[in-house]
Amino acid sequence: MKLALETRALGKTFKVKEKQAGLRGSLKSLFAPQWKEKTAVDRIDLSVSAGETVALLGPNGAGKSTTIKMLTGILHPTAGEATVAGLVPWRERTKLAYRIGTVFGQKSQLWYHLPPVDTFELISRVYELDRVDYARRRDRLVERFELGPYMHTPVRKLSLGERMRCEIAASFLHRPQILFLDEPTLGLDVVVKERIREIIRERNREEETTVFLTSHDAGDVERLCSRAIVIHHGGVLLDRPVALLRRELLSGKTITVTLADAEDPASVAEWFGRRAWSPMPEGVELAAIEGRRIRLAIDLARTDMNELLASLTQAARIADLTVEDPTLEDIIKHIYGMEKTKGGEPT
Amino acid sequence: MSGTARFLLASWKVNLASALEYRLSFFLLAGMMFVNNMIWLFFWYLFFGRFPVVSGWEMGDVMLLWAVSAGGFGWASVLFGNFPRIAAIVSSGQLDVYLSQPKPVLLNVLTSRMSVTGAGDFIFGIIVFLWVGELTPRGCLLFACALFVSGVLFIGVMVVAGSLAFWIGNAEGIAGQVFGSFIALTTYPTGIFRGAAKIILFTVVPAGFIGYMPIGLMRDFNPAFATAAFGAAAFFAAFGALLFRAGLARYASGNALAMRS
């Protein structure tokens, strides 16, 4: 299969000035600065096939954004090699820019005081799009991304979700072969996140756009990507198909049950042990009891959610119930633990 | 028309649309800059009332000097409005969006902003020229040349100063100093400077080329000075572009939130 991107021992280090606290430290640093080399990306090897949807995951400071910036030609690496769409990003940046699209959650390409329609027009000139083709493409994207009501509203008056939809649509205008997204769902509510994932998935399906995204959100991985690469401390910790990852790691959910007022808070713990389940069903662990609230850790690989909820509602009158995904930090901690127990330090 | 020319035109149209989004602010800012420049001319009017000739310079020459300086600064700020902000853009990691687009990065950065006060400066320059300049085809052509050289020098010097941010990190302070002193020095008659100060004005901080324009180019056309002025403008523009290009390899990006306005 044709490769969309490949890296070999790609690395990036930054020189960071180290300063002791306080004024004395500042004065010392002024005359005798101390520099430390910080490894942001530690010689990683990646290979992504055309049409794949890949998530690059990791906690803050893991090197996700630095990796994406090297792959898009924004940053020059200090070690290793990379080709993206057949080009070396930092040497053939201009040519590459026609073949890729970028969405940086924190850095907007839309003009703040102008409606998106004006920025779309400018972008069409940036990518030198044929006028007829551009108009057709813009109208199609406006329809698919449901941007009609916002296209003539200044960006400053759009909600974050509306703005992100415009950002992503803008990045598709020139039909990129590869779309790089850096935290595209950061700060968005559940409904908007889901809509954004859906439209990216649709573009991937219809135009075979390769999607390479960084995220903090396990939901982005589950619902959008076919493969996940977890990086930690600049190196690749895990590279696995999401289906496998889901079975192994994303099957964990947390259910928080708030019992109705009629239940006596003081005896909830006793009640739980005595009446709820005895013994505890397989794949369910009692994580905590706080007042009338009970938190259960569920492994969906071993427990059926429907049966579990039916059993819970039979056992007690429930005032509220929430189901949460594990946080990415929890997943990474889990992976880290797994790799350690496999033998030695994780690679 | 080439793709880059069409892009430049579209960029300027977007800039203008963005500036006009707040009409009142647009007219107030442009108008205030016009008034501000007029106050300085009034100061010189009072000065020349007492000393009619200073080192060969008369009131009309100083007015033309202001027309060239403000007019050159004005068009540069309107069309390439980010030139005084290169250091801030580089050090705060705001080049990412420009680097991800297939257009020359420096040109893309420079044209991404239109300074509204620059429009006031430009209009001021034109009005002063119409007031005291030589309104012949030759006079107009020489004034246009003077405006061109002046604007290119402003851009070139500030791109050089701003590009230092790739090497020294936070270069906003030094770029601000260069900007302030460069503008100030272009509004004084070059004739009052002597010795080392004059050498600096025609080398390191080439404000002298702008300051001497009313005499060396417009009043008594001096081919040697004209060649040197065009040469200095070309040198600083080329040096700025090369320095910026070399600096991109050292760009460190950042995580600051950024919107284009």
> A 102-141 residues with CB below 8 A of B?
102, 104, 106-114, 118-119, 121-122, 124-128
Distance from CA of A233 to the nearest CA of B (A): 18
pLDDT, residue A345, reads 42
By Cβ distance, the residue of A14, A111, A126 closest to B7 is A126
**Per-position b or e across B141-160, b if 16+ CB within 10 A of its CB:** ebbebbbbbbbbbbbbbbbb
Q: Is the peptide bond before A279 cis (omega within 30 degrees of 0)?
A: yes
Q: How many CB atoms lie within 10 A of CB B50?
A: 6
* Chain A CB within 8 Å of residue B1 CB: no
- Determine, for residues A76 and B251 on separate chains, whether the beta-carbon distance falls below 8 Å: yes
Which residues on A lie below 8 Å from B22 (Cβ)?
113
A72 residue type, one letter: T
Distance from CA of A123 to the nearest CA of B (A): 9
- Determine, for residues B6 and A128 on separate chains, whether the beta-carbon distance falls below 8 Å: yes
Which residues on B lie below 8 Å from A70 (Cβ)?
none
Distance, CA of A167 to CA of A180 (rounded, Å): 12
Distance, CA of A183 to CA of A107 (rounded, Å): 11
pLDDT tens track for A88-140 = 999 999 999 999 999 987 788 898 888 999 999 999 999 999 999 999 999 99
| Reported pTM | 0.81
Region of residue B169 (phi > 0: left; psi between -120 and 50: alpha; otherwise: beta)? left
Distance from CA of B23 to the nearest CA of A (A): 12
By Cβ distance, the residue of B7, B21, B96 closest to A104 is B96
**Cβ atoms of A81 and A253 closer than 8 Å:** no
Which residues on A lie below 8 Å from B250 (Cβ)?
76
- Determine, for residues B249 and A90 on separate chains, whether the beta-carbon distance falls below 8 Å: yes
Q: Which residue has the higher pLDDT, A89 or B2?
A: A89
* Chain A CB within 8 Å of residue B94 CB: yes
**pLDDT of residue B261 exceeding 70:** no
Instruction: Please tell me which residue of chain A has the smallest CA distance to B256.
Output: A106
**Cβ atoms of B38 and B67 closer than 8 Å:** no
* Chain A CB within 8 Å of residue B111 CB: no
Is this prediction's ipTM beyond 0.90?
Answer: no
**pLDDT of residue A346 exceeding 50:** no
Which residues on B lie below 8 Å from A170 (Cβ)?
none
Distance, CA of B261 to CA of B258 (rounded, Å): 9
- Window from A234-238, B105-109, B222-226 with minimum mean pLDDT: A234-238
pLDDT tens track for A60-94 = 778 888 999 999 999 999 999 999 999 999 999 99
Distance, CA of A216 to CA of A164 (rounded, Å): 16
